[in-house]
Amino acid sequence: MTALQETKLSMLDLVTVREGGTVAEALAIARDTARHVEQIGFTRYWVAEHHNMPGIASSATAVLVGYIAGATSRIRVGSGGIMLPNHAPLVVAEAFGTLAELYPGRIDLGLGRAPGTDRLTMRALRRDRVETEADFPRDVAELQRLLGPPRADQQVIAVPGSGTEVPIWLLGSSLFSARLAAERGLPYAFASHFAPAMLLQAIELYRQNFRPSPRLAKPYVMIGVPVIAAPTDDEAEYLATSTYQRVLGILHGERQLLPPPMHGFLAGLHPQERAGIADFLGAAVIGGPD
């Protein structure tokens, strides 16, 4: 228990749009939640990039980071993450360099290698670009150069951005980014909030292969854990049915607004559907204070 009490806690927010609610209300809830967790001592508040999803309002991630940073005073705010295949590194460096100048020492740049959307929307974001496995490591290196101190021979400089050295995190749900984060000496965040299966393997790979860097002397890991808390176990389980419904929609390829809780939801599902939800939420903590 002592180790858990000493563990830094942070929050990842998808800025969920609820049934019967609006995007404006979802954004206001994110702002108010960030203020609340800052008050109770959380370390970070991150928002995730998704596109063409009716129930998620965090597509303009850098804009939202600025909104939340401006509404708080101490907590670090960042992206969990920017999906790098959707953006030119220079644009990301300028956006987060601007945020770093506005909110010094409070901005994080988490990077993912998935598009965060479907293929049609991916093409709308970056037109006809075809991704290769080499693109993400190269783009991460370019971002590190653009956010680092300017060099004498550097022809393209991010203004703002150059010299801000915004902390870069690599995000992943498989072993690829764990290996890259270890090679580059970067902090690593694993997406066990939706893909818990490879969590322990990825962390072990990262720690065993970590190479110290000027930014990080030893491995630093963050994990995503879905938490649904309430005064009692029964109430938490009831509230969790909203998430169960949403996860089932994802598994069936149906994106939707966050539905209200439903009594007896799991009991009405096929066993395979219940198993799919359980796998998706394998790292979840659902219950009362104990």
pTM of the model: 0.92
Q: Is the CB of residue 64 less than 8 Å from the CB of residue 16?
A: no
- The partner residues of 83 in beta bridges, in order of sequence, read 112
Q: What is the 3-state secondary structure (H, E, C) of 76-133?
A: EEEEEEEEHHHCCHHHHHHHHHHHHHHCCCCEEEEEECCCCCCHHHHHHHHCCCCCCC
Residues 248-289: tens digit of each pLDDT: 999 998 888 999 999 999 999 999 999 999 999 999 999 999
The verdict on whether omega for the bond into residue 81 sits within 30 degrees of 0, i.e. cis, is yes
Residue 235 binned pLDDT confidence (cut-offs 50, 70, 90): very high
Q: What is the 3-state secondary structure (H, E, C) of 202-234?
A: HHHHHHHHCCCCCCCCCCCEEECCCEEECCCHH
Mean pLDDT of 72-93: 95
Residue 128, φ and ψ in degrees, nearest 5: -100, 20
Whole-number Å distance between alpha carbons of 281 and 272: 14
Residues 96-126: tens digit of each pLDDT: 999 999 999 999 999 998 765 667 776 777 6
- The partner residues of 193 in beta bridges, in order of sequence, read none
Q: Is the CB of residue 202 less than 8 Å from the CB of residue 224?
A: no
Q: Which helix (H) or strand (E) holds 11?
A: strand 11-13
pLDDT at 133: 73
Tell me, what amino acid is at 195?
A
Three-state secondary structure call for residue 284: coil
pLDDT at 128: 62
